[in-house]
Amino acid sequence: MSARELPSSPFNNNRVPVEAKVFELNERVSHDSHGLGIVTNVEPAIAVTVNFGSHQRRIVSPFTKLSKL
């Protein structure tokens, strides 16, 4: 009997490491839910604070919904 490989298995060692996004002060960004904004504070490898005009949000790593412009 052969073993099946399940893609969602925590024991799967074939994962490719994802490169962490790095943001800088005053950098323009886009968020999937909040829209366009400017980075106002950076906590390296932890979080960024973004001013979206009408509100400000602290977004924690891995920044999946945040992208550089």
Print pLDDT tens along the chain (69 aa). 456 777 777 776 666 666 778 999 999 999 999 999 999 999 998 999 999 999 999 999 989 899 999
What is the value of pTM for the model shown? 0.73
* Burial per residue of 20-34, b for 16 or more beta-carbon CB atoms within 10 angstroms, e otherwise: eeebeeebebebeeb
Dihedral sign from CA coordinates of 60, 63, 65, 68? positive
